Each structure stands twice: as structure tokens, then as C-alpha cells.
Structure 1
Amino acid sequence: MCGDGSFGQLGTGDNLSRNFPFEVAYFNARHIEKLAFGMHHSLVLLKDNSVYGFGSARRGQVGKCVSRNQKTYNVPRLIDGFPNCKIVNIYANGDHSARCDESGHLYIWGRALIGEDDDDEPWRILPSTSVSQVALGWHHALVLSAGELYRLGVYRHQKCDPPGLGNVSGQQSNTRATSSSRDRSSSLSMLETVPFIDGEQVVQIASGTEHSALVTDKGTVFTWGWGEHGQLGLGDTSDHVAPQRVDIGDNGQRMSGSLAVHCGSRFTIAVNRPSGWLFCNLTQAVVGNNSLIERKQRTPPKWGAWRLLPWDIPVGCSSGDLDVDDWDGRANETVGQFRLILAGLFTAAFARIFWCIAECS
């Protein structure tokens, strides 16, 4: 692991950051099955069906705290409270944690998605529902069950969460869930059905900070939620309440069921697996040897515009094959011009100041 360790999320036993990858000693002799990462915490699922958490514990996202003053754990700790059933996946985002077992039972803990009280112990929600997929945002979650898509929690941007979104399910999420009176943006005590185009089944879901995406069985991508940074890929920066069909600009280079979508905090990526093409909105990327390297955006694209990039670049290709040097050349030229403009402005400003001083004296 590497990166920010200020909350202990690297599992090193301290809260220091690391700028080189290192092996987490705690898991040296253990078989890791799944990993999941939130804003300031990490989850690990081992082959023996145990789940470990470390990092920020402020919202209970790494399990029950030993003391009320314990806010972080910088060493992996076992999260208990699960029944004896095979865990198939773990999830994390923001201050939320979740896991789903082979029977479709969903357990969540951490920051409240339902009601107003955080939970430091995993508890099962939707007891009469078999869950196939889960996608966690910072204040909301998507749950896919038998082809039906539901939402828990809210989008904190009010434009994305007007009263009456979708159809409120008649199923109570959990007996502990209560309507909140703390503020208008608190989570709902009922599941809400996410509306989408009739005649298409949802096959995959994803969530970012405050936006969501899905793929249907016909290979169609839909996005909705927070759109300020163009992350919805709709050509604008507007928020959208209901799922909107996205034109990813692939010119039909995909087959039904071949597309997968992924959400970052403020961007979205779709991958067309058989053809090996990557569709990005608001990002420039270099792909080589089946690895994705995000690069700092050098020229502002149209908001929400999708870029088509090759995913299956042959092994051994040079950076010139990807025109990386051309990007950098244009970027350096732009930076140089910007510096000249700044220098001119500062020179003019100082000349004006000296002139004023000379006139006053």
C-alpha cells in the first residue's frame, strides 16, 4: 500500500504517509480475497471468511471501538458480528462499509444510511430481499435485487433529491430505521425504487461521491446525481434526479452485456471488455500493458465529454505510440505562454507603482 496514512488506513501501526508501495506486514501469511477502500478507512476480506478494518473509526466504519475516545485504528482489526455464511464481497466508500454473503444478505455499518445514528456493529438490512450487487456513495447506496434497483440514503445536493423521487417501496428497511428530524438531508427510512427506462434490465451499478451509474442488459449506460464536474457524461454540468441515457461516443463498438462502468469521486469510466476500449469523461489517461495511469488534465475538454482510448495497447509499446510526448509538448508550450503573460502583467503593475511613487514625490 502507499499514500495518505494520516488516519491509519495503511495498516502500518502508525499514522504516517508512504510515497512508495510497501507490504502490509499483518497480512504476510494470510490469503486476501477482496479489498475495499473508503475515504479514510480500509477493509480486507480473507480466504477464511474474516473481515478486517483499519483507518478512521469516527463513524464506526471499521467496527466497534474499544473506547469512545478511539477515533482511528492503524493496525488491522477483526470486525465481528457476522453469521456463519460465506462472504462474497465487501464494499466501502466515504464513511460507509458493507458486505454481502452468498445468500444475498446485506450487512452495513459505519455512517448512517438509514435513520440518523451511526452503527459500529454490522447489521442486516432488507431482510426479505436477496441482494446481488451493492454500490456505496458518500451519503447514499444503490442496491440491486432481482433486476430491481433501489436507493438508500440521499444525495446531499438538494437538486438531486426532491420529494417523491422514484416509488417508495412498501418494505421497511429495518425496524431500527426511523425518520430523521435532525435535518432535511438525513437518510430516509424507506427504500426508494430508482426509475429507469422500461424494457431494459440493470446488470451492473456504480456510485461516486454523489453520483451514480448503471449498465443495462442492452449495453446502455445511464447516469444521474451530482453533475457539477461533468461526471455524468451528458455534455453539461447539471444535476439530474433520474437516470439519463449516456452517449459514450463508441460508434457502436460494443456488444450487449460487454460494458462495465466505474465511478470515481467526480468522474466516470466505462470499459468495453471484448474490444478492449476505454471510455473516459473528464480525464486524460495513458494505457499500456493493461494498466491505467491517470494524468493531470492539461486542456479543458467540453464538460461531460467522453474520450475514447485504446485499452489493449501491445506490450512494449513506446510512449510515442500514445502521443504522450505530444501532450507534454503542447502542455509545456501552454505553460510557457502563461508564464510570459504573468511576467508581463507583473512588470506593468510594478511600473505603474513606481510611476505613482515618482509622481507623488
Structure 2
Amino acid sequence: MEEEVMEAEAAGSVGSGEVNPPVRRVLLVSAGASHSVALLSGNIVCSWGRGEDGQLGLGDAEDRSTPTRLSALDDLGIVSIICGADHTAAYSESRAELYSWGWGDFGRLGHGNSSDVFTPQPIKALQGLRIKQIACGDSHCLAVTMDGEVQSWGRNQNGQLGLGTTEDSLLPQKMHAFQGMRIKMVAAGAEHTAAVTEDGELYGWGWGRYGNLGLGDRNDRLFPVKVSAVYGEKMVMVACGWRHTISVSASGGLYTFGWSKYGQLGHGDFEDHLVPHKLEALSGSFISQISGGWRHTMALTSDGKLYGWGWNKFGQVGVGDNIDHCSPVQVKFPHDQKVVQVSCGWRHTLAVTERNNVFSWGRGTNGQLGHGECVDRNLATIVEALSVEGSSGQQIQASKVDQSSGT
């Protein structure tokens, strides 16, 4: 749900002109509350898991327990995709169009109303904008343009849109608080938001009860406020969990702050931190990617090792047990294959390895793990349908639904 960096390698779609390409590389995965999506080379999108609110984009409210091709997005040139809790967004670079679908409460889809949408619909207010990154939280979204400007929309009861009000916004609005600054990336939690500027400054706003804004107190903020307590480090990456925040410095150091009832900050205890606190357990590693779940956290190192910690009731940390971990534990993969991308959902986790395999673990009750069954897993388990080394090779289900019905 994090925010994850959504700058998809557009270069990954070079194989799209081939006839029957032998292998579709998985370029991106993203996990929501109970659903999952993947972007494959050739601009192919598939989704699986809970479908009750239309978040799979397949035109109905059915769950899917294996990856299913979202054919409504075929030929649109999708280069990035991300899950909110119960909604999804995807961006077409060639069309300069952002699509959204799923649960529409509070205007989180950006279509000017609160209706649920069961197939991808373009956000008209963003038509023509060149977008480099999207962040979806529980019920609000943000988009960063190539010019470093930010648009935000959806729920705003704690000021998480950064617009200076607590009124929800059914349509995207430009954040004027960042006038004159270039934003590198944003991250959205349940009710808070964080951003990193191109200059390496970290900002937080929205709901701050657990210190998750990093500002040294527990107050809400209606506008972005600069986080000063980062020990002179420039920040290059940020992610949000439900009520905690994770950032990475230019030197590869990992910082966490906010709520830690389940050990999701990783500092060896269950204490909240109101300002960014360096994760000493991983100080010997260069962190290349981060993701925040509902109450768990994942960090990927530059040498392809994946570490998890936090709430683990459903095995979402992926280390073979169901006990909470307050310090980082390495997630193991067959043949020690290196990980290239990770995404935390609320209670499940997805990862892509350098060998073009997708793995999932954690809560599986809605089929969000993609294994064709609805059971939980506490170890990284290969998603056969998306993996080169799956026993059946890549076998993505075709969507069998009439895509013409919109809402």
C-alpha cells in the first residue's frame, strides 16, 4: 500500500512487439488491503484477490485466486500500477492518462463522485499531465508530475491531502504548499502522507497521533511540515505503513518513525518514535527499496536481500512463523535468488526476484496470494502463474467478463 516507487521501467516493455514473447518479465507488483496487481512486459496488467468493491477492474465483484489479465487496459501503454487499500490506479505514459477503479468512497478515485467503479476509468482532471509517481493510501491518493508538482484527492479528515483543510476532495487538487519546490516522491498511509523533495528534504502531514509525521509531537498537520530531525542526512525515498513511516537516506541508511505496537519500526522494541530513528540493525546494508504494510515493514538491500519485521499474525513477514518481530529478519527464497522488488499489502506481501519469479506470503483468505487457493502462508511461496520457474510456466487467466460496463 505504500507507496512504493512507481517509476516503472518503461524499457521493460521493449518485448511488446515480439510475436508470442517467450517470457513476460514482471516489472512491478503492488499489494492492497486484500488484492494484488502486477505489471508485465508488453504493458500487460493482471489482478487477483478480493474483488467486492471492483478493485480488480474486471467488471464484476468476484474474488480471483489466480492472476487474471485485466484486458480493459490492453493496448493503453500502462507503465505503472499501484494498489490503495480497496482501489487501484494505473498510468499510461503514451496517453498521459491516469486510470482508477474500485471503492469510491470519499472521492479516492478522483472522478468527482463517491461511486464504486468496476473497470478502469480515466481521471479526467489529470488528463494530459505527465506523471512520474503515484501513491495510494487507505482512502486518499497523490500523483507527482514530471515537473515535481503534486496533486492530491480523496479522504481528508486529518488534512492528509495537504491542502490546508479537512474537507474531502472528489477531484485532484494541486498542492500549492510545495510551490517553488520539486517533489521527488510521495507516500500515503492510512491518514497521513509524506514526501521527499529533489533536494533531499523530508515532509510530513495529516494524522500524527503516533508521531508518524516525524515532527516530534503527536499533532495533526493540514499542510506539509519539514522534518528536521534527520541528522543532516538527505532523504531519497519514503514509504508509509498504516500509521508508521519509513525513509531512506542518500547513503542507504534506513529510518523509521511512528507507531510501533507490533514492532513495525524494527528497533528491537515496541516503542513509538516521534522523530526519524535510524535502524541500526541494518546499518551495514545499503537499502534500495522499502514498503510499509498495515503493521509490518519490508526493506530490500542493494545486494538483493529482503528483510521484514512487525505484525506477523498471518505470516506476512515471511519468515516461517506467526509471531511479531520487532527487529529485521531475512526472508529466504529458493536458491538464494535475489529480490528486485517488494510490496506490502495490509496483511500480505509480494516480491519479484531477478530470476523473473513472483513470490507471495501472508493472508490469503481472498486469494490475494495468487496461488489458486485461499490459505495463509508464512514463507515466500512462488506464484506459479507469473513465474518463469513455476511448474506450469506463465499461465495468466484471461478475463471472461464484459468490460464495457463501467460503474
Q: Distance in 2 between matches of 1:324 and 1:14?
A: 32
Cα distance, 1:125 vs structure 2: 0.6
- The alpha-carbon distance between structure 1 residues 12 and 223, as it changes in their structure 2 partners (threshold 3 A), is same
Question: Structure 2 residue aligned with 1:272, among 340, 345, 353?
Answer: 353
Question: Structure 1 residue aligned with 2:299, among 206, 214, 218?
Answer: 214
1:82-97 map, 5 Å = 82=178, 84-97=180-193
Q: Distance in 2 between matches of 1:45 and 1:161?
A: 27
Contact 1:213 1:222 (8 Å CA) reproduced: yes
Residue 142 of structure 1 is matched in structure 2 by 246
Residue 58 of structure 1 is matched in structure 2 by 157
* TM-score of the aligned structures, taking structure 2 as reference length: 0.63
- The alpha-carbon distance between structure 1 residues 205 and 2, as it changes in their structure 2 partners (threshold 3 A), is same
Question: Structure 2 residue aligned with 1:21, among 97, 117, 120?
Answer: 120
Cα distance, 1:85 vs structure 2: 3.0
Cα distance, 1:308 vs structure 2: 1.8
* Amino acid corresponding to residue 220 of structure 1 in structure 2: K
Q: Distance in 2 between matches of 1:79 and 1:252?
A: 44
Q: Unpaired segments of 5 or more residues in structure 1?
A: 168-183, 285-292, 326-361
Question: Structure 2 residue aligned with 1:252, among 323, 336, 345?
Answer: 336
- The alpha-carbon distance between structure 1 residues 61 and 280, as it changes in their structure 2 partners (threshold 3 A), is same
Question: Structure 1 residue aligned with 2:318, among 210, 233, 241?
Answer: 233
**SS across alignment from 1:19:** strand
Q: Is the strand fraction higher in 1 or 2? A: 2
* TM-score of the aligned structures, taking structure 1 as reference length: 0.70
Cα distance, 1:33 vs structure 2: 2.4
- The alpha-carbon distance between structure 1 residues 148 and 48, as it changes in their structure 2 partners (threshold 3 A), is closer
1:307 matched to 2:381: yes
- The alpha-carbon distance between structure 1 residues 239 and 27, as it changes in their structure 2 partners (threshold 3 A), is same
Measured against aligned partners, the alpha-carbon deviations of 1:85-130 in whole angstroms (never above 9, x if no partner) come to 3222121121121221221111111111242211110111136320
* Amino acid corresponding to residue 259 of structure 2 in structure 1: V
1:126 matched to 2:228: yes
Contact 2:163 2:177 (8 Å CA) reproduced: no
Give the percent of matched residue pairs that are identical in Structure 1 and Structure 2. Answer: 26
Q: Unpaired segments of 5 or more residues in structure 2?
A: 1-99, 399-407
Q: Is the helix fraction higher in 1 or 2? A: 1
Contact 1:136 1:142 (8 Å CA) reproduced: yes
Q: Distance in 2 between matches of 1:107 and 1:125?
A: 5
Bigger radius of gyration among the two: 1
Paired residue total = 286
Question: Structure 1 residue aligned with 2:201, among 97, 105, 108?
Answer: 105
- The alpha-carbon distance between structure 1 residues 307 and 46, as it changes in their structure 2 partners (threshold 3 A), is same
1:203 matched to 2:288: yes
Cα distance, 1:198 vs structure 2: 6.1
Cα distance, 1:265 vs structure 2: 1.1
Residue 117 of structure 1 is matched in structure 2 by 219
* Amino acid corresponding to residue 32 of structure 1 in structure 2: I
- The alpha-carbon distance between structure 1 residues 200 and 116, as it changes in their structure 2 partners (threshold 3 A), is closer
